[in-house]
Amino acid sequence: MCGIAGWVDKNTNMGDKIGLLNKMSKTLDRRGPDENGIYISGNTALIHRRLIVIDKENGKQPMAVNHNGKKYVIVYNGELYNTSELREELRADGFHFRGHSDTEVVLKTYIKYKEKCPERLNGIFAFAIFDSENNSIFLCRDRIGVKPLFYYEYNGGLLFASEIKAMLASGVVRPIINEQGLNEIFFLGPARTPSCGIFKGVFELNSGECATYRNGRLTRRKYFTVDAKEHTENEKQTIEKTRYLLTDAIQRQLVSDMPMCFFLSGGLDSSIIVKTASIYNKEHKLGKINTYSVEYKDNRKFFEKSLFQPNADFEYISMMSKNADSQHTEVILENISLADALYESVDARDLPGYVDVDSSLLLFCKEIKKDYTVALSGECADELFGGYPWYHNKDILFEDCFPWSRSQDIRRYILKDGVCRNGEEYVRQRYIDTINQAPKLKSDTIVDKRMREMFYLNFYWFMQCLLERKDRCSMYSGLEVRVPFCDYRLVEYAYNMPWSIKAYNGREKGIVRKAFEDVLPYDICWRKKSPYPKTHNPVYFNECAKRVKSILDKKTILTEMLNKKSIENIIENPDKITSPWYGQLMKAPQILAYIIELDYWFEKYNIEIE
């Protein structure tokens, strides 16, 4: 995993911009702390920061290859999971390889297939290739959107980068937000409309997109999307194929030249990954696996059951660790540190985000990085296989809105009158645009049609928010986190699985449970869904309240938009906030934390409002 950036300007020799290029590179040093490099050719520059995971000597970047008298140069961030198959295919066509890095395989796959190369790749990646044959830049992002790639197009030029901060460092991109950006931050955040980079003129390649910049023009192309197809396999065959696809995805992601560990929450998804890896290691005599979990100081003392969080994780973590014979480490986070890390979380995202859900992961990854460079995690099963409560509550399921943010009342409540006047309409249109894109079959039942819409909503919104969190908060410490449930083959298969089979036995992720019931302990396999752990300690709420009170006493661009009385009421009556700001976890403490992040973001990034 790494950080990449680039700059093309038809009116500039990039050699004259070396100071700014180095400045851009420096902003990405946390993504790639091990090595860095810059390639310059006339009006084109490619920047790379490397986190060494595979082939230390032969994977250096920017990587250049001369082929038939033409030069091709790549900067690449990611991991390829069909490297060996592609390498053999390319060797059969006469290509030679100097090492075993996946970077070299991606570059030579492009040389052979040009703009059609993304269809050959299975992995998580974002990359840019300079093609001297037609003086172009080819940009590409993985099918699922695990790795980021932002860009900014202007008259005569193009900037792109793994993170927005690198483009801001160029001096070309200004930290301006307009009404659209305000609607995104206040009415959709921490989610973002697909492709929207919040800052004026900043966009992101969507998942499954590539683009070519040639002759001063950027042309985007969608190379992957899920299609509606008839599911032809019976229940037994579906169970077997689900198990095969997930097992294969996990095993493909166990390749690394650096130490690897596993996140373990005691839930279904991480337990499947941990157990599969444990079995693989034993079969290949590779020794015990190492697992990590996260907890908060005194959380067991203050834990309260809820519909979304019916039980605590620690007993299940212990059970699964023993079952998988793992060497387990529990990371316990201090609540004040959790609040302190809100600011670093904004630095990592370049935007206000998922507040303590972000900051806890950031601190968790920072601890893991002391001993490991690579980890596997269980994100995205819920979006693909119907794991969230809103899939199973018919009252919510057929509500004509985003299920994780069903009302904008709390968002409107914290704003002064006149701010983001059309916020509700903006959200509504984003919702309509998404469900209208979901492919359907005429033979779909009413439930299956709605489930396809829910899949699209979750895949392109909720899941992308979680993947952004995972990438930024892990890469902030130079930790690569892989997500086996994001294998595109599994995504395609899940989209067309009838709900009656997917929700086997009437359970969330029922088909996945059934597929692995003979592998996992019964209590783990059939445990009720429990979300990512959050702190229940009042110390955290009180700390956030104190910081927000200080913010409200200032006169800033932000406080001029906030309703001070409403926010003070949240501080005084936190239990009255019954509907979450976003998802299942963002209640009163998290709303206050979001205001803390907003305040820091406006000040740190010198935000201008247009």
Q: Which residues are designated catalytic? A: 2
Where would I find the beta strands (DSSP E) of 10-83?
Answer: 35-41, 44-50, 63-67, 70-80
CA angle 370, 295, 385 (to 5 degrees): 100
* Cα–Cα distance, 55 to 256 (Å, whole number): 9
For the chain, the maximum distance between any two Cα atoms, rounded to a whole number of angstroms, is 71
Short-list 256, 331, 279, CA closest to 56: 256
* Cα–Cα distance, 145 to 527 (Å, whole number): 29
190 cis-preceded (ω within 30 degrees of 0): yes
Task: Return the SS3 of 224.
Answer: coil
DSSP type of residue 497: S
What DSSP string describes 251-304? HHTT--SS-EEEE--SSHHHHHHHHHHHHHHHHTT----EEEEEEETTHHHH--
17 phi, psi to nearest 5 deg: -110, 20
Element of type H or E holding 12: none
How many helices, marked H, and strands, marked E, lie in the chain?
Answer: 24, 19
Find tokens 């002391």 and name the residue. Answer: 370
How many other CB atoms sit within 10 Å of the CB of residue 69? 7
* Cα–Cα distance, 422 to 44 (Å, whole number): 41
**Long-range contact list for 433-438, CB < 8 A, 24+ apart?**
434/460, 434/461
Short-list 206, 181, 182, 185, CA closest to 582: 185
* Cα–Cα distance, 24 to 3 (Å, whole number): 11
